[in-house]
Amino acid sequence: MGRTVSLRSDALSAEISTLGAELRALADAEGRALLWHGDPAFWTGRAPLLFPIVGELPDLTLVHEGKGHPMRRHGFARFSEFEVVAEAADRATFRLLPTEATRAEYPFDFALEVTFALDGATLAMEAVVTNPGPGVLPASFGYHPAFLWPLPYGGTRAEHRVIFAEPEPAPIHRPVNGLLSRASEPSPAADGVLKPDDAMFERDALIFLGLNSHRLQYGVPGRPGLDVTFPGMPDLGIWTKPGAPYLCIEPWSGYATPEGDTRPFVEKPGLLHIPAGEERRFVMNVSLIPEVAA
């Protein structure tokens, strides 16, 4: 594991590893943990960054110009060592550039910088993907934080809610062998309120495409909880392993290849196509709030 960078504000503390630029801990001023701790009995991840893909490609292979490149689920960023390019008491920026290893998976030039900043009761995360190459850069990006379920403010798992800013009546999808299901099912948050339970995740994650909301609250109504915003990110995964004490709330720009889609990588649905010399920003903010809306 890479070295850990520690950040602090008057209301929160955070730890980020240079391995994957992964948020490894988030706690309130009293030291109560808000983020999953990575127990391997369930899942060793905590808050991996998903780049340059979200989900999987068919046969775990990126096909470009007739050549296959092995590509792991959710890409290579979470396994890569980032450079710390700026560090202060309340913020730090991490950078990943291409290496021989990344080019074997992803034959494109890129720069990925991720900044974590604490401001009072808010953790702000901003990822910037830049295209320094002469051609178009095809990429996706996603956040994958696992928040404790239950949170440390009283109430049972069954009392926790995910409350979207808007109703979400569009049908949802599921992963099928790592790919996006062609089939859909009714939204469990059509009225804007998701009541998570273990049975809901027996068939893997809930995948919301083209969300109405770019803000939600998580926790027990009437108790302290989390306010999560993700402006400009159109998709969302919500996931846990049944029985695990965490709930992943995952804003995405992109998603796994749909079942049966055999087109080359650059034609993959959900990809961003970043022109030469341009960049795209991906923001997720997590704020500790005194009370979750009813």
Integer Cα distance of 218 and 232 in angstroms: 20
The answer to whether 242 and 198 are in contact (CB under 8 A) is yes
- What is the predicted pLDDT for the residue at 238? 98
Cβ-based neighbours of 267, under 8 Å, separated by 6 or more: none
Topology of the domain comprising 4-289: Beta-galactosidase; Chain A, domain 5 (2.70.98)
pLDDT in tens, 22-50: 999 999 999 999 999 999 999 999 999 99
pLDDT in tens, 227-275: 999 999 999 999 999 999 999 999 999 999 999 999 999 999 999 999 9
Which residue carries 């960049």 as its tokens? 279
Cβ-based neighbours of 259, under 8 Å, separated by 6 or more: 176, 179, 180, 181, 182
Sign of CA dihedral 154, 155, 156, 157: negative
Q: State yes or no: pLDDT of 2 exceeds 90.
A: no
pLDDT in tens, 199-238: 999 999 999 999 999 999 999 999 999 999 999 999 999 9
Give the mean pLDDT of the chain.
97
294 pLDDT tier (thresholds 50, 70, 90): confident
Neighbour-count burial for 274-290, b at 16+ CB within 10 Å, e otherwise = beeeeebebbbbbbbbe
- What is the predicted pLDDT for the residue at 116? 98
AA letter at 220: V
Residue 192's φ and ψ, nearest 5 degrees, are 95, 0
Residue 114's φ and ψ, nearest 5 degrees, are -130, 125
- What is the predicted pLDDT for the residue at 1? 58
Domain assignments of the chain as residue spans, ordered by start = 4-289
